[in-house]
Amino acid sequence: KIKPQDTAWLPPAFPLNGRLPDHPYPVAMNERRQNSLEQRYYDECCLAAGKRVWRPCCKTLHVSLFFDGTGNNLHNDVYVDEHPHPSNIARLFRAAIGSGHAGGAALENALLDVPPAGSETYFKFYMPGVGTPFPEIGELDYSNLGLATASGGENRINWGLLRLIDALMRALKLGKLEDTASLAAVGDMATSWAALGLGGAHNRYETFYRHFNRLQNNIWQAMNPTGRGKARLMGMKLYVYGFSRGAAQARTFVNWLTELFPKPDSADGVPAQVLQGSNPACRLPVSVEFLGLLDTVASVG
């Protein structure tokens, strides 16, 4: 029972019937939001033809990213510890659909959907918390520095940005961004403390678009398909989650993502929400559809 003089407040009790929708309307609205780019393109086709036409074959990539909190590591918390205790971020990752990658998880295949689940449009990626093993960015063991000062946070965020490249490669049937290439890219994106902490934004931009430019011809072809049976790529929608220092990483991820958008034409202009490399004709729409922050902290190392 909560009393007015209590200094701590408890969340409301979880309803016995759960929190899943009990009416089809919210489900239909969620589906409508997910398919908004496809619906917009269909409306444009109808307006151009002056009548209702057959729905075109098109798709949007849905990418979910999960930044776990300090000391939380899905592999250890589920498969190693005697008493499994996955965090809510780890639970959300496991509940999400799609293929992808679970960072630091040697048994990651058990955590991912078997292809072709998600129809090559749904992807999910998990970043273990600072201070825990994350071999994909060069952290092989637990770290007191990471647990105390959040060291390694920047590399986790940059690894998350590279998952957009990974998802594109998977969707375009170009394989995936291999761990060795990803590790090298994370190193290239990092802030150079030898240069007094300068260069992080520049390094991120140059490294990210070096990989993006290798794909842009394939991306343009996917967005402008010819012939029958080829789905038109409409864009990419992101769903970003984070807990504690992972929540700070999620916030920073979104900020750094906006730094990858093309500069506006005027000082007071709004940048287009697209990824655009060296070819101005190849502009991939990107939007953050959901940002779920749990117990965020002010910053992350």
Q: pLDDT (tens digit, 9 = 90+) per residue, 61-89?
A: 999 999 999 999 999 998 888 898 999 99
E-strand spans in 74-190?
99-102, 122-127
User: 273 pLDDT exceeds 60?
Assistant: yes
CA dist 182 and 81 (Å) reads 28
Partner residues linked to 197 by β-bridges: none
Residue 101 main-chain phi, psi, to 5 deg: -160, 135
Which has more confidence, 40 or 142?
A: 40
Q: Specify the residue for token string 């109808």.
A: 46
Q: What is the pLDDT of residues 12-66, one digit of tens each?
A: 788 888 888 888 998 999 999 999 999 999 999 999 999 999 999 999 999 999 9
Is 136 in contact with 185 (CB distance < 8 Å)? no
> Considering only CA atoms, which of 153, 131, 248 is closest in space to residue 200?
153
SS3 content of the chain, % helix, strand, coil (to 5): 45, 15, 40
Q: What is the pLDDT of residues 94-122, one digit of tens each?
A: 999 888 999 988 666 667 776 666 558 99
Q: Specify the residue for token string 């496991």.
A: 94
Confidence tier at 9 by pLDDT (50, 70, 90): low
DSSP single-letter state for residue 76: I
- The reported pTM is 0.89
User: 7 pLDDT exceeds 90?
Assistant: no
| pLDDT at res. 268 | 75
CA dist 35 and 20 (Å) reads 21
CA dist 217 and 281 (Å) reads 10
